[in-house]
Amino acid sequence: MILAILFVAILAALLFALVKGITEKGFPPLVSTRPIWINGTSIKVTRAELLWNFIPVIIAAYVTRLWIMIDMFFRVIQPFVSLSRPTVPDKSILLNYPTMLPGHIIFQACTNGHWKLAWIASVSLLTRGLPVLVGGVFTSQDKHNTGEFRIYPQKTAFIFIIALFIIYSLTFIVIWLPGTSRKMPRNLYTIADTISILHQSQLLDDPEFAHLSNKEDLVAKLRLSRHLYAYGITAGRDGMSPNQLAVDQADRVDWLSLQESKSEQGCMAALRKRLRCANWDTHDTVLP
């Protein structure tokens, strides 16, 4: 919510500046406009140019990093969104979104019908050019030969930046559109996190995962098996853990719909309700 408000505020400020004719009138540079020479080179710049090229690039770099993080979160969580109901392996356990190139994931997400992910991946790809764009958007000029230098934004680039922030603002609406909740009872950012939800799954003992030589062999076996897979509460493979939160064949899972909860606490409450165990907590065997 804070990020959405911040982006809308920046968009409003940019639109206000454009309406006020900032691209024609310019604005005071706030620092000295006397030219300086870069040591050891023949490049002559002003302190104002350094300031108004440096600050926008820093802001753009943080914005780019933010959208890459949002993009990666949706990549990681999408298989579990699919597994919140019985699903074929091609759209669940075989998804490899986190390792895909930015352009490839857009095509693959559209093919699989994951439209929200496709939109966010597109925005993330578009954002990667933002630091390059804003690096030269401001120039210091004395247009009227009065000796007073002012900072002028390049109009085309300035309008393109406004268009980007309109897309960012719309993307927050897309993120909040009604649909399956993407709240999980634990983080999924490391290999250890993934292992923790699979190490007690009976899935590991299935013949489809035995004697594999390559990924193509695994994919072929899973498709021929015609099994559906889900994420929820299942019996542990050691026989001593009857209530494990894991990915498994759908007919062995009391599958947990992420739609039941809108927060991590809600997801825990849904698990407690499924287990019918009033004393269950996050330190039980369900969550390693």
Look at residue 157 and tell me whether its pLDDT is greater than 80: yes
pTM of the model: 0.75
The average pLDDT across 61-83 equals: 90
Q: Contact 246/200 with Cβ under 8 angstroms?
A: yes
* Cα 243 versus chain centre, distance: 31
Q: Residue 245's pLDDT is what?
A: 80
Lowest mean pLDDT among 29-38, 79-88, 134-143, 231-240: 29-38
CA nearest to 119, candidates 155, 171, 76:
171
3-state secondary structure of 140: strand
Between 246 and 106, name the one with better pLDDT.
106
- Give the model confidence (pLDDT) of 47-65 as tens digits: 777 777 788 888 889 989 9
Q: Contact 194/86 with Cβ under 8 angstroms?
A: no
Tell me the backbone φ, ψ of residue 241, rounded to 5 degrees: -125, 90
Q: Tell whether the torsion through CA atoms of 252, 253, 254 and 255 is positive or negative.
A: negative
Look at residue 7 and tell me whether its pLDDT is greater than 80: yes
Look at residue 263 and tell me whether its pLDDT is greater than 80: no
Rounded Cα distance between 118 and 120, Å, is 6
Q: Which residues contact 67 (CB under 8 A, 6 or more apart)?
A: 120, 123, 124, 127, 168
- Residue 41 DSSP label: S
Model confidence at 117, pLDDT cuts 50, 70, 90, reads very high
Q: Residue 42's pLDDT is what?
A: 53
Question: Token pair of 135, please?
Answer: 């690096």
